[in-house]
Structure 1
């Protein structure tokens, strides 16, 4: 224990935050449930000590973002690290063109085959793509199956600097609010028309690749000029702690951190699961099994029996 949602600041890698948590909490046992790029900010979920057992169950959590996609400039990293290697004049869309932009975004909703960025941690033949890219090479990265749940166009602006940087959380997610919380974005690479998009995506989705692909669908180069992760599973940015408060952050206990339906066990069921048996059950899908409020196991049900994925003593 515990599981802690951290607000990762601009410029730090996810590993940097893990190292800070190790020092702050006095333990080497710290892991995270999904990498966040250095030029992105927002929710990074950490599991500390015994809670590292939960990482495998939280990596597939749905994630929500605010994304600033600049049109007319492409970069090798697909984000604001730069430099700009492709450039094309893009006029500010007219009001009539906004519907076309929304239709383009709509085509990306649902299951997608997405090619990861060259500057990513994806491995091919034991080599990291970013290491090859930084040495001047390029790997043939296969497309990966991802799911994009929703893409909401919140506005189009003449540049990323003129787009909203302050937001507040509402029922539909984080929305522009001049009196809300201000987010820090990377220095812009120039003045380019910029889409502000609110996205909800499945595990493994690269927003940098999405920015590239949206540009390609519009016939122009594009890059991700800014990114804020506002939610990971049940963890919202509004409840995330700063890296400066890692030492005294309470976080959530293991049971509260697992976002699965619950099965309340009796002594016999708990014993059988801890022994690795497959007791009968009509449950379907992944569940958390508890006994008197304590975590017993994470199981998968097929409608006939339960299979233990992980058990707790």
Structure 2
């Protein structure tokens, strides 16, 4: 079955979107390739039916975001869900100071996840413990932040740009005309940074907002977030959730950004039988038979090994 690219609306969890998709599409087999928090909007990729097998290859894709980081106020959730915690005056930072702080987070690093997250320790969800007034020991995890670009700054979230247009290279920039995004209700009038981010899988933008504030010496929270790309799929390809039932969806091959091997019947049979046929290529490949996806395989320069095969 196909793959759907949905523009997740505000105030729905990713699980809520999956539930609606199951009802609209008439199947229980629906998965997504990367969670969005309820107060985030934007690209959520849904894999349906047999295509759910592709989630394992797509959930590690890089993702792009428009992030609104409000300085001078912290929250326990690290976002606009609140409530407000520490509040402090914000110095008049220069663009250079802010840029230097952002650049300090580029590359591979260790990031401490939010307490209000679905991570588990000893079978207990972090957000369950947090809502009960506790806190789990969440160790820092390796993440990669590829790009951070300061698009603008404003005296408050209300004054920050909310209309953006895509650029030819897939980025988004503030514009007089374009797409106006919905943001969560603001918790107050705090100086706000508008940042375009490209990050690796597992990166929490809420944690990044907290850490950017710490680097500047002030509390901070993520006051708005829009995912503009997940893997090969951008926001311009996304359909509103209410129109999901009217969409035909996309094929599996449009989801995987991998080299393709056109396999003959013999090679396909060998892979299905668990054999490791000789092959000169390295890396991960998509194997096709008569134009249909047969398997995703790994090659070490000498042999191919099946990662997941389709009958």
TM-score bucket (shorter structure): over 0.9
- Which residue is 2:115 aligned to? 118
Residue 217 (1) aligns with residue 207 (2) = no
**Where in structure 2 are the equivalents of 1:40-79 lying within 5 Å?**
40-79=40-79
Between 101-110 and 70-79, report the one with greater CA deviation.
101-110
- Which residue is 1:101 aligned to? 98
In the alignment, is the contact (CA less than 8 A) between 1:92 and 1:157 conserved in 2?
Answer: no
In the alignment, is the contact (CA less than 8 A) between 1:73 and 1:222 conserved in 2?
Answer: yes
- Which residue is 2:251 aligned to? 253
Displacement of 1:63 in angstroms is: 0.4
In the alignment, is the contact (CA less than 8 A) between 1:91 and 1:193 conserved in 2?
Answer: no
How many residues matched? 310
**Where in structure 2 are the equivalents of 1:1-313 lying within 5 Å?**
1-93=1-93, 97-172=94-169, 173-313=171-311
In the alignment, is the contact (CA less than 8 A) between 1:265 and 1:290 conserved in 2?
Answer: yes
Cα distance in 2 between the residues matched to 1:87 and 1:121? 27
- Segments of structure 2 that go 5 or more residues without pairing to the other structure are none
TM-score (norm 2): 0.98
Displacement of 1:185 in angstroms is: 0.3
Cα distance in 2 between the residues matched to 1:256 and 1:157? 39
Equivalent residue of 2:151, what SS? strand
Cα distance in 2 between the residues matched to 1:148 and 1:195? 17
Equivalent residue of 1:73, what SS? coil
Cα distance in 1 between the residues matched to 2:215 and 2:69? 13
Displacement of 1:248 in angstroms is: 2.1
TM-score (norm 1): 0.97
Equivalent residue of 1:231, what SS? strand
- Segments of structure 1 that go 5 or more residues without pairing to the other structure are none
Cα distance in 2 between the residues matched to 1:60 and 1:118? 22
Displacement of 1:92 in angstroms is: 3.6
Displacement of 1:241 in angstroms is: 0.7
Residue deviations 1:77-102, cap 9 Å, x none?
A: 00001111101101343xxx211211
Equivalent residue of 2:98, what SS? helix
Displacement of 1:171 in angstroms is: 2.1
In the alignment, is the contact (CA less than 8 A) between 1:64 and 1:200 conserved in 2?
Answer: yes
Cα distance in 1 between the residues matched to 2:130 and 2:96? 37
